Structure 1
Amino acid sequence: MKNIFQQIAAREDEMIKELEQLVNIDSGSYTKAGIDKIISKYDDIYTGLGFETEIKENDENGNNLIARRTGELDGSWLFLGHVDTVFPEGTAEKRPFKLDREADRAYGPGVCDMKSGVVILKNVLETLITSGTELPDLVVLLNGDEEIGSPTSRELIEDAAREVTACFVLEPGRQGGELVIARKGVGIYELIVSGQAAHAGSNHQDGVSAIEELTYKIQDVHKLTDYEQGITLNVGVIAGGERPNIVADNARAEIDLRIVKAEQAEEIEKQLKAIAAKEYLPGAKTILKGGLNRPPMEPSQQSEQFFNIFAEAGKSLGLELEEKLTGGASDGNFVSGLGVPTLDALGAVGGGNHSDQEYIELSTLVERAQILAGGLTELASKLD
C-alpha cells in the first residue's frame, strides 16, 4: 500500500492539470456541448485503460458514459461521478480555475462538486491497474445530469447497480473529511389550488381565494416536520394570483421532503394527500402532484465495514476519518435503494459548492485519492 500511496503522490501535478482542464470547460446541466466534451474525453481515457466503453447519447441533455472492465477477482464494483455543474454557460470564462498554493486552495465552477472527484477516480483506477493490482469487475458511470435529478441517467445507474456487489461515489468529502454512509431520501411535491376569481372591491364576497386556502395548507405541511424522526418538509416556492385587485383563483406551492427511512415516505404522502383533500374555504380545490425523487441511502452492516476499511487507510496517512449522515442526496441513493452497500463522499474536501466561492483544499486531492486507493486495495485483498 505504501508503494501505491507514493505513486498517487507523484501524480499531484498531473491531477491538478487535469482538474484545471475540466473546470475550464463549461458543463452546466443544460450546457450539452461542454458535458459531451468531457464525456468524450473520459471515453478515450477509460478505453485506454482496458475498459469497454459506451456513450449513451441524449438529444437535449448531456451524454452519459458507462465503462466496464473485467477483473481478476470475484465481485463487481460500481463507481459513480457526475460531470455537470449548476453554473450557466460562460461561467468558466468569467472565473476560470485558480490556484492558490499558499492558501492550499483551488477555485472554479464545479471544482469541488464534483470535477475533483472525477479526477481522483480516474487517477486511482489508473494507478491500481497499471501497478498490477488484482481487482474485481469494475463499472464506471459518469453522468451529465445529476444536478437536475438524473432524469436520463437514473435508469442506467439502477441497471448497473443490479449487477454489482458494492458502490463508491466520488461526491465531495465533507468539511471534516468525513465519509458518508447514509443520505436522506428526497421527495418533490406540489400543491395546486384553484378558487374563484372576483373583483376585490365590488364583490369580494363572491370570491374564493386560492392564496388564502394555500396559506392554511402550508402551515399543515410544515407541521409534518419531525426532527427526532429525521423528517423535514419545506415549502420553498409559492406563487399565485394575477393582480392585487382580483381575488386569486390560483395558487401553488412546491414542497421539499427529506426522510431517513424508505417506509416514512408512504405515511408522509398519505398525510399530504389528506391536506390536499381538506377544504378550508368552501369551493377551493387542491391537487397534489409529485413523489419520492430519490430513496434514502440507509446505512448497512456492509457499508459500515467499508467505512472501517477506508478509515484504516486514512489512519495510515495520519488522518482520522469519521462517518456521517447527511441531508443532501446523490446518485448513490439510487444504488443503496436497491440494497447495494454504498460508500459516498470520497472526493476532495472543499466548500462553497454551487456558489462563486467554490473551492477545494488542494492537499486533499492527493489525500483522498490515497484513501480511495488504499481502501480499494484492502478490499480487493479480502476477495482473494
Structure 2
Amino acid sequence: MNPLAADAARMQADVERYVRLESPSADAPRLDALLEVVAAGWERLGGRVWTEPAPQGAHLCVEIDGAAGREAELPVLLLGHHDTVWPVGALPLRAADGILYGPGVYDMKGGLVVAETAVRALRASGRAHRPIRVLVVADEEVGSPTARHLVRDRATGSAAVLGFEPPHPDGGLKTARWGSTRLRLTCTGRESHAALAPDDGVSAVDELVDQLGAVRAATEHREGVLCNAGTVGGGGRTNVVAGDAWCDLGLRFETPDQEADVLARLAALRPVRPGAVVRTEILGARPPWAATPMTAQLLTVATTAGEACGQSVTGRPARGGADTNLVGGLGVPVLDGFGPVGRGAHAPDEQIVISSLAERAELVTELLARL
C-alpha cells in the first residue's frame, strides 16, 4: 500500500487551494499571492526560502540540507512554475468521479504539490538524501524571459534536475523535449481610401496572408517541425487599406539543425507587393533538449524506484517545451513529467486523476532517496 495514500485528501486540498489562487502569467499581484502560500509550505519543511523579484512576478528559491553525512553532496534541483495560461475566471474548479478539473490543475499546480509532498515524506522517513534545491518560476508559460538565467544558475552543478511538469498521457516521464520559438511576423503596407484610391494603398493584411502561405511552405510536412499561427492582428477600418498586420507563430523543432534551417528561411522572407515591408522578430526561444546517456541512466534509477513502489515507469521525448529545455545542455541529467497523471494542458477540460497525486509523490520520494 502506498504510504502516502493517507495524504491523498490533503494533497487534493492543497491543489485546490493553489488553483483558487488564480495566477495568470504577467499578473504579478496574483502570482506573488500564490507564491507566498507555496513558500510557506516549504518553510514548514525547514527549507531556507527566498524570492528573486521580477517585474511580472517573483520566483521562489528553496534550499534544504542533505541528511547527516550527505550534506556536502551535489544537490538535486526540483523545477516548476506557478503561472498558468488561463485568465481569471476562465474555468471552474470542480471534482467528479476521481477527477479534479480547473485552471492550472495539470499544468502545473498539481506538480507543485507532488514535489512538496515527496520532500515532506522523505524527511519524515529518516532516509538519507542529498541536499535539495527547489525553484518555482513565474513566467514559464511565456518563455521564462526573466527566469531563464535563474533556471540555468540553479541547475548548474546539480546532481540531477527533476521537472514537475505534466507527464505523457500514460504517465510516462519526459526524457527530451523539442525546442520552441515564438516568432512575430510583421507586415507594413500603406494606408489609403479603399474605394476612392485603392491603388494608392498597399494592403498589409493581404501581404500577411501571402507571407503565411510562404511560412506554411517552409514548415508544413517537415519531419521534426511544427508551426502554429497562434495570434493574428492588424488593419483598422473596412474602408481603409490596411497599413499594418502581424502574426505570432509558435514553432517547434526536434533538433538544432532543423531550428536553424527553418529560422533562416523565415528570416529571408521578402515582400510580395511593391512598397510592402516584411519583418521577423524572435520573441522568445527555448533550445531543443536532446536525450543523453546521463538522462538514460537517471531514467534507469527512476524505473528501479518505480519498481520499489509497485509502479511501472517509462520515459520518452516530448514535443512540448518547458524550462527543462534550458538545462538539457548543461551536462546535468534531467527528467521531466513528475506531475500527476491527467490531460488537457492549455485546454478547457484541464484535469488530473486525484489518486495519481499520491502515486507520483511516492515515486519521487523513492527516487530522491536513491540518488
TM-score (norm 2): 0.90
Alpha-carbon distance change, 215 to 367 in structure 1, aligned in 2, over 3 angstroms? same
Tell me, yes or no, if the aligned pair for 2:2 and 2:309 is still in contact at 8 Å. Answer: no
The equivalent of 1:154 in structure 2 is 148
1:193-232 map, 5 Å: 193-225=187-219, 227=221, 229-232=223-226
| Residue 273 (str. 1) matches residue 267 (str. 2) | yes
Count how many residue pairs are aligned between Structure 1 and Structure 2: 367
Which residue pairs with 1:45 in the alignment? 41
Instruction: Provide the residue aligned with 1:128 in structure 2.
Output: 122
Which residue of the other structure, out of 73, 92, 97, is the alignment partner of 1:95? 92
| C-alpha contact 2:63 2:134 (8 A) present in aligned 1 | yes
Residue 9 of structure 1 aligns to which amino acid in structure 2?
A: A
Matches within 5 A, 1:1-384: 6-58=2-54, 60-71=55-66, 72=70, 74-90=73-89, 95-96=92-93, 98-100=94-96, 103-225=97-219, 227=221, 229-275=223-269, 278-290=270-282, 292-378=284-370, 380=371
Secondary structure at the aligned position of 1:201 is classed as: coil
Per-residue displacement from partner, 1:356-383 (whole Å, max 9, x unpaired)? 43221111111111222222222x2xxx
3-state SS, counterpart of residue 16 of structure 2: helix
User: Structure 1 unaligned runs (5+)?
Assistant: none
Scaled by the length of structure 1, the TM-score of the pair is 0.87
Question: Which secondary structure does the structure 2 equivalent of 1:296 belong to?
Answer: coil
Compute the displacement of 1:292 (Å). Answer: 4.8
DSSP-derived class of the 1:263 partner = helix
TM superposition shift of 1:180: 0.7
C-alpha distance in 1, partners of 2:318/2:123? 32
- Structure 1 distance, partners of 2:219, 2:193, is 37
- 1:295 deviates by 1.3
C-alpha change, 1:27 and 1:11, in structure 2 (3 Å) is same
Q: 1:317 to 1:32 in 2, by over 3 A?
A: same
Mapped partners of 1:45, 1:351: distance in 2: 26
SS at match of 1:79: strand
TM-superposed CA distance for 1:90, in Å, is 4.3
2: distance between equivalents of 1:301 and 1:188? 29
- Hey, which bits of structure 1, 4+ residues long, moved more than 6 A? none
* Contact 2:157/2:332 (8 A) holds in 1: no
Deviation at 1:40, TM superposition (A): 2.1
CA contact (8 A) 1:121 1:170 kept: yes
Query: CA 1:285 to 1:38, structure 2 compared with 1: closer, same or farther past 3 Å?
Result: closer
Cα shift readout 1:263-309 (whole Å, capped 9, x = no counterpart): 3333222211111xx23222222122115511112111111222222
Q: Which moved more, 1:301-310 or 1:198-207?
A: 198-207
Amino acid at match of 1:155: H
- Decide whether aligned partners of structure 1 residues 110 and 239 sit closer, same or farther in structure 2, where only a CA change above 3 A counts: closer
Could you tell me which amino acid in structure 1 is paired with residue 301 of structure 2?
A: I
Contact 1:194 1:250 in 2 (8 A): yes
Residues 1:107 and 1:116: Cα distance change in structure 2 (over 3 Å): same
* CA RMSD of superposed structures (Å): 2.3
Deviation at 1:254, TM superposition (A): 1.7
CA distance in 2, matches of 1:368, 1:216: 48
Once the 2 structures are TM-superposed, how far is the Cα of residue 258 of structure 1 from its aligned partner? 0.7
Q: Secondary structure, in 3 states, of the residue corresponding to 2:256?
A: coil
Q: Deviations over 1:149-196 (max 9, x none)?
A: 223322211211223131101111221111111111111111222223
Q: Secondary structure at the match of 2:255?
A: coil
1:104 Cα deviation after fit:
2.0
Contact kept, 8 Å, 1:265 with 1:292, in 2: the verdict is no
